[in-house]
Structure 1
Amino acid sequence: MAQVIRMCAGCRQRAAREELVRLVWSDGAVVVDERCRLPGRGVYLHPGCVAAVLRNRGVGRGLRREVDARQLRDLLDRLAG
């Protein structure tokens, strides 16, 4: 079976899906989709690209939604830390 490739919203590099974290919009907020099973649009991100994705606002663009910057920063800080 072919390896699934996705693009990181922070650095815009392509990588295997297993190397990236998927973020989705669920219940009015951005959440980490650990099992890659939640429905809807997803945004993929390298764990080390937190600063880049906050700077380029790639999560909001990828999800096609207005994203609360403070909530997203808290979520990504927990992810990186």
Structure 2
Amino acid sequence: MGEIVLYSANWCGDCRRAKAWLREHEVPFTEVDVEHDDAARDRAVEIAGGRRNIPVLVLPDGRVLVEPTNTELADALAPGA
């Protein structure tokens, strides 16, 4: 599996939870901080279909998860998902 791109901010509790889940399950990801980067924030909103919620995760196959629960992360990253 390729690497996930995670759009997040340090103040975001859901972002911290998602990062902790990914680390716990040894899923590689690249974090993009939307708090101090206007272009990254705009890109995250665009990817999320206009939603301003974070985290926004772009999976290696192009699927996008917006503010996913741990269960949604597990389901999306399960083998064969």
TM-score, normalised via structure 2 length: 0.27
1 or 2 for the larger relative contact order (CA 8 Å, sep ≥6)? 2
TM-score, normalised via structure 1 length: 0.27
Determine which structure has the larger strand proportion and give its number.
1
